[in-house]
Amino acid sequence: MSQTSTKLLISCPDQKGIVFEVSKFISENNGNIIDSQQHSLGLDSKFFMRLEIDIPLPTKELAQKFKAIADKFSMDYKFSSGKKRMAILVSKYDHCLYDILLKQKHGNINVEIPIIISNHPDLADVAKSFGIEYKHLPVNGDKASQEAEIIKNLDNLDIDFIAMARYMQILSGDFVNHYPHRIINVHHSFLPSFKGANPYKQAYQKGVKIIGATAHYATEDLDMGPIISQDISAVNYKHSVDDYVLIGRDIEELVFARAIKAHTEDKIIVHQGKTIVFS
């Protein structure tokens, strides 16, 4: 993926001429299509498209100019460019945190991380070793105030989206709705199996041969948001519940990083509670 390119995401009713009109628009504005992916559920149904473009205009101006086409085809659309700004919420587990920080450092994930916020002080040194601000915002029995404090911090830093790196607090509906499809959570089970607490113990007791983890957008209804990425690992009789937890953490890291990467590259469209994740 080019780091200086502009991305365009489109959803609209499927109909003839969409690609023609869009590519004409790009051509007339002196742009070049680097990558294009589209998905159609068939004529009279839904059409989805992601374009990566080299184009000299800023996204704001593009969005304005594009409005005529968007209206004609009843499109939802979004232009974006540049690095997104991500806040990380953590509690005490550091595995997903380290993984994201390292992937960002090594260039696997192309994102800015201005702040790490936690309800615990424990991981301040990790943030420091990566040169990132760490804000300790304890809940202290008043979640509403704490969440308001989080929002204030994120607003000040112009944050685009939030990664919940095993943040062990249930976010309020108000908070979640403040960031629609902009909060990425990781659940330590292969949803929809084993929802809720202690999924690895549940899996062990059921005798499954594979355990998994799920990264999804947070919604008010816990563990039910649109799934972005899932993966699994085989387990056998030699593994204890503790082993499941250790093995599971590797999968959590994996799906969490994939979900964040897809989100930063504007590769995700949510449609009817499910995601289209372009490759």
Pairing of strands 133-136, 111-118: parallel
Q: Residue 141 or 237: which CB sits closer to a copy of itself?
A: 237
Q: From the list 163, 191, 260, 262, which residue makes contact with a copy of itself (rule: CB under 8 A)?
A: 191
C-alpha to C-alpha distance for 167 and 137, rounded to whole angstroms: 12
Query: Could you say whether residue 58 binds a copy of itself (CB under 8 A)?
Result: no
Residue 266 annotated in active site:
no
Least distance to a copy of itself, CB of residue 152, Å: 30
Q: Residue 15 or 64: which CB sits closer to a copy of itself?
A: 15
Least distance to a copy of itself, CB of residue 245, Å: 10
| Binding span for a copy of itself by CB under 8 A among 62-70, 92-100, 142-150, 163-171 | 92-100
Count CA atoms closer than 13 A to 183's CA, side-chain side: 26
Query: Could you say whether residue 72 binds a copy of itself (CB under 8 A)?
Result: no
Size of the site for a copy of itself (CB under 8 A): 62
Least distance to a copy of itself, CB of residue 209, Å: 4
- DSSP line for the chain: --SS-EEEEEEEE--TTHHHHHHHHHHHTT-EEEEEEEEES-TTSEEEEEEEEE-SS-HHHHHHHHHHHHHHHT-EEEEEES-EEEEEEE-S--HHHHHHHHHHHHTSS-EEEEEEEESSSTTHHHHHHTT-EEEE---TT-HHHHHHHHHHHHHHTT--EEEESS--SPPPHHHHHHSTT-EEEEESS-TTTT-SS-HHHHHHHHT-SEEEEEEEE--SSTT-SPEEEEEEEE--TT--HHHHHHHHHHHHHHHHHHHHHHHHTT-EEEETTEEEE--
| Binding span for a copy of itself by CB under 8 A among 139-147, 153-161, 162-170, 271-279 | 271-279
Find the largest Cα–Cα distance for the chain: 63
Q: From the list 61, 72, 121, 125, which residue makes contact with a copy of itself (rule: CB under 8 A)?
A: 125
Write the binding mask 11 to 50 for a copy of itself: x where contact by CB under 8 A, - elsewhere.
Answer: -----xxxxx--xx-xx--xxxxxxxxxxx--x----x--
| Binding span for a copy of itself by CB under 8 A among 68-76, 152-160, 163-171, 270-278 | 270-278
Query: Could you say whether residue 222 binds a copy of itself (CB under 8 A)?
Result: no
Q: Which of 223, 231, 242, 243 is catalytic?
A: 223
Per CB under 8 A, residues contacting a copy of itself are: 16-20, 23-24, 26-27, 30-40, 43, 48, 54, 94-95, 98, 102, 106-108, 125-126, 129, 190-193, 206-210, 212, 226-232, 236-238, 246, 249, 273-279
Positions marked active-site: 223
